[in-house]
Amino acid sequence: MKGMTIIVKTIARLISGLILLFGIYIVLHGHLTPGGGFAGGVIIAGCFIFLFLAYGSEETKNEVSKWRASLCESFGLLLFWYLAMLGIFAGTQFFLNIINKGNPFHLFSAGIIPLCNIGIGIEVGGGLFAIFIILATLKMEEKK
């Protein structure tokens, strides 16, 4: 997959940071505003796919980024499972919200719900980007 023109590359370089920031905002405010882990994770994956499409697969190191995306995905899912098992570690039930709930309408509130959102966001972003890299590099290999 070849890269695009210099106009697309410049705009992608300028905009991709803002897209990543918006995805992180959607993930972190999942318990206050519409959105959450899945939507924010897809936006984060979209930011990286945008850069990948603009710069082409020659300039990016495919194997390294595939390995990192897979690592992010596994880490996010493991974080979610450990948060779910926090209740067992504390001596109560599975998936019980044991952290202090705090005041409503604050960023640090609602116990484990924002932490679960962060885990799902990391997992979905890494997983979708890994699928995209696998499909794109497969196409490139068959052309040779």
Partner 1 sequence: MIELYLLLILMILGAVIALEAKDLLSAIISLGLIGFSLVLIFLILQAPDLAIVQIVVETLSLIILIAAILKTSLKDTAQENGLKEKFLLGGGLLFLIIFMFFVNQAIKFLPHFGFPLMRMAKNYIDLGLIKTGAVNLVAAIILDFRGYDTLGEATILFTAVIGVGAVLRKIGRKK
User: Least distance (Å) from partner 1 to the CB of residue 9?
Assistant: 17
**Residue 81 binds to partner 1 (criterion: CB under 8 A):** yes
Residue from 3, 9, 34, 37 nearest 23 by CA = 37
CB neighbours of residue 110 within 10 Å: 21
The CA-atom distances, in angstroms, between 43 and each of 6, 33, 53, 81, 135 are 24, 16, 15, 23, 19
Q: Is residue 92 classed as helix, strand or coil in its secondary structure?
A: coil
Size of site (CB under 8 A) for partner 1: 54
User: Least distance (Å) from partner 1 to the CB of residue 63?
Assistant: 9
Residues that bind partner 1 (CB under 8 A): 1, 26, 30-36, 38-39, 42-43, 45-46, 49, 53, 70, 73-74, 76-77, 80-81, 84, 95, 97, 101-102, 104-105, 109-113, 116-117, 119-120, 123-124, 127-128, 130-132, 134-139, 141
